[in-house]
Amino acid sequence: MMPLGSEMPMLFSQSSSNLASRYWCLTILFLVVLETQIASSALILSLRNHHKKQHNAMPKFQANQSTCALFVGTWVRDDTYPLYESSNCPFIEPQFNCQMYGRPDSDYLKYRWQPLNCELPRFNGIVFLENMKGKTMTFVGDSLGRNQWESLICMILADNPSTSTQMSRGLPLSIFKFLDYGISMMYYKAPYLVDIDVVQGKRILKLEEISGNGNAWHNADVLVFNTGHWWIHQGGDQGWDYMESGGTYYKDMDRLVALEKALRTWAQWVDSNIDSSSTRVFFQSISPTHYDPSEWSSVVSGTATTKNCYGETLPMTGTMNPSAYPDQMRVLDEVIRDMHSPAYLLDITMLSELRKDCHPSIYSGDLTPDQRANPYRSADCSHWCLPGLPDTWNQLFYTALFF
């Protein structure tokens, strides 16, 4: 092989050649180290969002004009929180109203999310209403979507307590209106997103059909989707009797396969029916549960002291729990990557995994006295107290929506 530069005239002496060789070695070594550092930084930033298309460009803040890794960070104590009191928000359902139903501690309310390399703008309900004036926002999904919807209502009202409102609850659609601003904020119950039909008394989960539900969302200016928990329910807790795919009926199938089929049906509907230049589409990532203390005991102390989230009063420490990344999340990530106009992924899974202390546990109005007396059987470690963690979801949503 011809040496580098040998086709050129010999202009350097042997000593100069040795110096040049050393220079090139040092340069290559520097580039290797630099590339390693860049790769490490890129890995951290990639956790903030799993796809890099311009549709999901990271928000930039006036404070530092740098790209912010919103979903990578840590929980820090902040005594200016919570943003509202449950006693001042009559729209919180008993299921989420932990303080009203006897939760004795309140430290879990005193934490805010601190991203890795920026400060989140504090939620401002007046700014929210001014920016959404005359528009419609719809949360679509399971009860975690309802959890987030009610949180956002309370956060806005805390800054606008005298504004005129109207609430109507129903199935599958509930509507909250800010009458002075012409804003409708809706929650549409669709735990699988795709359609469920009843045929001869049997509930058929249609993995490739969504138009029945989709017609109700079509005209929204902002859409926030979620799904996840219902796909792993078994027996009497599952919401269907048969699944239908490609004209074939199944008593059951691999749940991840079913989830992917449904999500691809949803993604195709969004790409075909939503104008991304006028409608913002978000997808809330999988909300974790805390029924298994082995998921956090190794992080905190190495031994399990509880049987579920009951009695937990402090968040896990650190930036993330790397063992807690549901298979469902990987499926969701792949589907969003493949969209023509990708939904913005509100990637709250990891930051929520750290908050084992924020569930209703036994302090839920949905439980009987007998159920409260048996926390290791009855504790709700799926939903979240209000005020509580969903307020942070909405602060991140607010940031992604307006900044």
Known catalytic residues are 143, 380, 383
The DSSP bridge partners found for residue 139 are 187, 224
C-beta separation of 313 from 249 below 8 A: no
The DSSP bridge partners found for residue 184 are 136, 177
Pairing of strands 173-178, 183-189: antiparallel
Q: Residue 60 — φ and ψ, nearest 5°?
A: -115, 140
- Please tell me the distance from the alpha carbon of residue 393 to that of residue 226, in angstroms, as a whole number: 12
Alpha-carbon separation of residue 23 from 26, 31, 290, 308, 352 (angstroms): 5, 12, 56, 60, 49
Alpha-carbon separation of residue 351 from 66, 111, 192, 228, 285 (angstroms): 21, 12, 24, 17, 11
Closest CA to 194 of 252, 281, 270, 250: 270
Burial of residue 43 (CB within 10 Å: 0-12, 13-18, 19+) is: exposed
- Please tell me the distance from the alpha carbon of residue 98 to that of residue 359, in angstroms, as a whole number: 8
